[in-house]
Amino acid sequence: MRFLTILVGAAITQWLLTWWMLALVGLIAGRYLAGGVRSAWWQGAGAGAALWGGAAAYIHIANGYLLGDRLAPVFNLPDGWLLVGVSALLGALLGGLSAAAGAYSR
């Protein structure tokens, strides 16, 4: 329940507003939906990774791999797909930390 709430809520709010809505949605979901802190962390991290990794993969495929492959050397990465992984990792950290913070605030 928390996973889908964070995933759908963050997708809608990020589409309309800005990138840090994942943190706000994760914080609210972690605070008000039942479960422990460890569960909140994993569900928030999974939702953040799925959302940001999925968006990065879509963008990477939609532009014919050009942007990721040209941007990867800037970060000393050999391939544009590693940027997708880095985006998923950052989304997982943001979603997990915000959901765990919300669960701790109960």
DSSP 2-48: HHHHHHHHHHHHHHHS-TTHHHHHHHHHHHHSSS-HHHHHHHHHHHH
As a whole number, mean pLDDT of residues 67-89 equals 92
What pLDDT is recorded for position 95? 93
Domain spans of the chain, in order of start: 2-104
What pLDDT is recorded for position 102? 93
Residue 101: band (very low, low, confident or very high) from pLDDT cuts 50, 70, 90:
very high
What pLDDT is recorded for position 92? 96
> In this structure, which amino acid lies at residue 76?
N
Statement: residue 34 has pLDDT above 80: no
For the chain, the average pLDDT equals 91
What pLDDT is recorded for position 33? 86
Rounded-to-integer distance, Cα 82 and Cα 65, Å: 12
Chain position carrying tokens 């913070």: 101
What pLDDT is recorded for position 54? 95
44-66 residue pLDDT tens: 999 999 999 999 999 999 999 99
